[in-house]
């Protein structure tokens, strides 16, 4: 063989041997395959607590991204209406605010430093508050309506009777007084939402006076009654559950 031909053959063999080695070196250490968590997660979830090469895949399952369902415009509007309805149920309008009653007359727990013992009801007709004294230096304070000018009174009595949704029997003098004004009162009115005595009544001693509810909650904090102590129905119902017959009531 000629020297030139021999050199060419040697060169070809050298190139052929070098190329596979180079290719093998290039792909000998393959790069890791990396999948997006969005693609891997669905089938990884099926593996649950199994391990891949000794590593738990539970953490990978936590990477699943749940995308919000796309709604049609009509469905979106219905969802909004449902949300508004739920809010309306959870946050009802406050009758005291919608009918003009000062929020200061809403019930709250306050410090009490007076001399009366726990369980006593103390009514401050000047400030229009009723206090139910507690045994820890506090009192539950409620707003009340009291007697209008000429019908104020003060004294100490005990609760002698309790009634739920009481019927109303206006006294004869009240019937005559209102008739002179052109108002005709019934002889008797059955208990119910329209009854002036409201949801509950606590009768004081042998008098005609009562602590009772009202069908006019916006009058709480005013001097408008014929001597009775009126409360919001919600408040007198709460007080009713806290006191019993024999409870001492002081009206100042």
Tell me which of 157, 169, 183, 228 is the catalytic residue. Answer: 228
Which residues are CB-contacts of 119 (< 8 A; sequence separation ≥ 6)?
Answer: 132, 133, 243, 247, 248
Instruction: Determine, yes or no, domain membership for 81.
Output: no
Q: What would the mean pLDDT of 163-178 be, rounded to a whole number?
A: 89
Query: Is 228 in the active site?
Result: yes
Count of domains for the chain:
2
Taking only the tens place, the pLDDT of each residue in 205-222 is 999 999 999 999 999 999
Check whether residue 136 and residue 232 sit in a common domain: yes
Check whether residue 55 and residue 180 sit in a common domain: no
Tokens of 52: 């891949």
Taking only the tens place, the pLDDT of each residue in 32-68 is 554 444 444 444 444 444 443 443 333 343 433 334 4
Q: Would you say the pTM of this structure is higher than 0.75?
A: no
Per-residue pLDDT band at 189 (split at 50, 70, 90): confident
Check whether residue 227 and residue 179 sit in a common domain: yes
Taking only the tens place, the pLDDT of each residue in 71-105 is 555 554 554 444 433 333 333 344 444 467 899 99
Query: Is 157 in the active site?
Result: no
Check whether residue 143 and residue 245 sit in a common domain: yes
Domain containing residue 46: 32-67
């Amino acid at each position: 063989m000629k020297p030139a031909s021999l050199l060419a053959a040697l060169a070809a063999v050298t190139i052929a041997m070098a190329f596979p080695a180079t290719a093998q070196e290039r792909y000998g250490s393959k790069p890791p395959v990396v999948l997006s968590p969005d693609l891997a997660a669905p089938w990884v979830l099926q593996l649950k607590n199994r391990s891949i090469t000794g590593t738990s895949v539970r953490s990978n399952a936590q990477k699943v991204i749940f995308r919000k369902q796309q709604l049609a415009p009509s469905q979106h509007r219905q969802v909004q209406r449902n949300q508004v309805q739920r809010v309306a149920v959870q946050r009802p309008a406050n009758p005291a605010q919608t009918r003009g009653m000062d929020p200061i007359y809403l019930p709250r727990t306050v410090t009490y430093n007076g001399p009366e013992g726990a369980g006593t009801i103390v009514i401050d007709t000047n400030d229009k508050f009723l206090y139910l004294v507690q045994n820890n230096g506090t009192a539950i304070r409620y707003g009340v309506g009291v007697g209008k000018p000429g019908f104020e009174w003060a004294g100490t009595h005990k609760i002698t009777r309790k009634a739920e949704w009481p019927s109303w029997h206006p006294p004869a003098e009240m019937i005559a007084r209102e008739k002179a004004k052109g108002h005709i009162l019934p002889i008797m009115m059955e208990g119910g939402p329209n009854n002036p005595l409201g949801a509950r009544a606590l009768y004081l001693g042998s008098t005609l006076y009562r602590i009772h509810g009202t069908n006019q909650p916006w009058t709480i904090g005013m001097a408008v009654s014929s001597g009775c102590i009126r409360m919001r129905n919600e408040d007198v119902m709460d007080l009713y559950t806290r006191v019993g017959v024999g409870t001492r009531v002081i009206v100042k």
